[in-house]
Structure 1
Amino acid sequence: MSDPYVLVLYYSRHGATRDMAKYIARGVEQSGIEARVRTVPAISANCEATEPTIPEQGALYCSEADLAECAGLALGSPTRFGNMAAPLKYFIDGTSSLWLSGTLIDKPAAVFSSSSSLHGGQETTLLSMMLPLLHHGMVLAGLPYSESELLSTTTGGTPYGATHVAGQGSRALDETEINLCIAQGKRLGKLALQLQA
């Protein structure tokens, strides 16, 4: 049996969600458990389009085994009209065998998102990602208000999960957003260790 890990699974088109995933993974590892960062391929309306088996850059593509064997899950997506991005939903929609077997029941999960504007649907995107995780029987973990930066942030950050305001894709994560990503990762890692025991 391999060492336990938290899967940090995301889709990112312009890099902001990918950057958040890196900080969440840092927080996971600070809690004392491995973080395994994975992504999903883009999808296309063109039925002939295919993606390489291994991406040219960034994280490897997630396999069903990566998800099945994780001790916890952080799921991240950019906001698409108040919903998760289609490539991430496409991947999640293909996990019915894990639902049938109950593989993810009682494992902790958290969600994170990035949008171009402050009111770009961050919270509804987080909620849309929570729904399939609840169907899988996962235990959802948000960001508690003991993280004082939730009370002072003027950019991203919600009790539902870490968020980032990208400002049309050009704005890097600020210190508050980074700290909240790390805090979310730490909490998820801690819960994964506790629930595994």
Structure 2
Amino acid sequence: MKVAVVFYSTYGHVYQLAQAIADGASGVDGADAELYQVAETLPDEVLKKMGALEARKAFADVPEATTDVLAEADAVVFGTPTRFGNMAAQMRTFLDSTGGLWKKGALVGKVGSVFASTATQHGGQETTITSFHTTLLHHGMVVVGVPYSCPELSEMGEITGGTPYGATTLAKDDGSRQPSENELAIARFQGRHVAEIAKKLAG
């Protein structure tokens, strides 16, 4: 059973969540989780001004996602940073290339799930994920979130990301905050939950 974790990351926060998602999914018997990143659309000179070039070296060896990756997977978990309450343009560009899959119904019945990062607590963690779900539903995917059987969702002793729609992290407006253990635990739970549901659907 193949679980594809398809992400876009600017400074590495989403990449760290993607690793945790894959770790969680790989813990399910029979599941094989692989990381893929969507293509960068910004030129290097812009990324350099953003201070992102160095951070992106950490996942430079992660293979690029293609539409074939989605077609061959039993479950796909998408990760994106938030841009004004929506997914990043790089992820949108990739999704806009999946019209051929939609026409063939290639993703119908596959499990789809989403995780995200934002700069602030109220920067669109929920809207980014729930608006992303619209695309998955158009593809006929079975949308999976994070149920409250994940105890870390109810953590109130610290500032933390994490929603019933998917794992999230808070990066701070300068990108200096890294994913917390609580946030990574939610991501691992999500990966495991997605793989378990995909396994059940596979029969």
TM-score (normalizing by structure 1): 0.90
Shift of 1:56: 8.0
Structure 1 residue 43 and structure 2 residue 49: aligned? Answer: no
| Structure 1 counterpart of 2:97, one-letter code | G
- Report the CA distance shift for 1:163/1:57 in structure 2 as closer, same or farther (over 3 A): same
Structure 1 residue 187 and structure 2 residue 193: aligned? Answer: yes
**Aligned pair count?**
186
- Matched residue SS, 1:98: helix
Shift of 1:24: 0.2
Structure 1 residue 27 and structure 2 residue 24: aligned? Answer: yes
Residue from 146, 160, 163 that aligns with 1:158: 163
Q: Percent identity?
A: 41
Structure 1 residue 15 and structure 2 residue 12: aligned? Answer: yes
Q: Which deviations, in whole Å up to 9, do the C-alpha atoms of 1:156-182 show, x marking residues without a partner?
A: 000000000011311111111011000
- Report the CA distance shift for 1:56/1:13 in structure 2 as closer, same or farther (over 3 A): closer
Structure 2 counterpart of 1:142? 145
Shift of 1:128: 1.9
Q: Is the 8 A contact 2:15 2:59 kept in 1?
A: no
Residue from 156, 162, 184 that aligns with 1:178: 184
- Matched residue SS, 2:145: coil
| Structure 1 counterpart of 2:109, one-letter code | D
Q: Name the Cα RMSD after superposition.
A: 1.7
Shift of 1:148: 1.6
Structure 2: stretches of 5+ with no match in the other structure: 44-57
Residue from 63, 67, 72 that aligns with 1:64: 67
TM-score (normalizing by structure 2): 0.88
Q: Which deviations, in whole Å up to 9, do the C-alpha atoms of 1:47-78 show, x marking residues without a partner?
A: xxxxxxxx981411011111111000100100
Q: Is the 8 A contact 1:75 1:129 kept in 2?
A: no
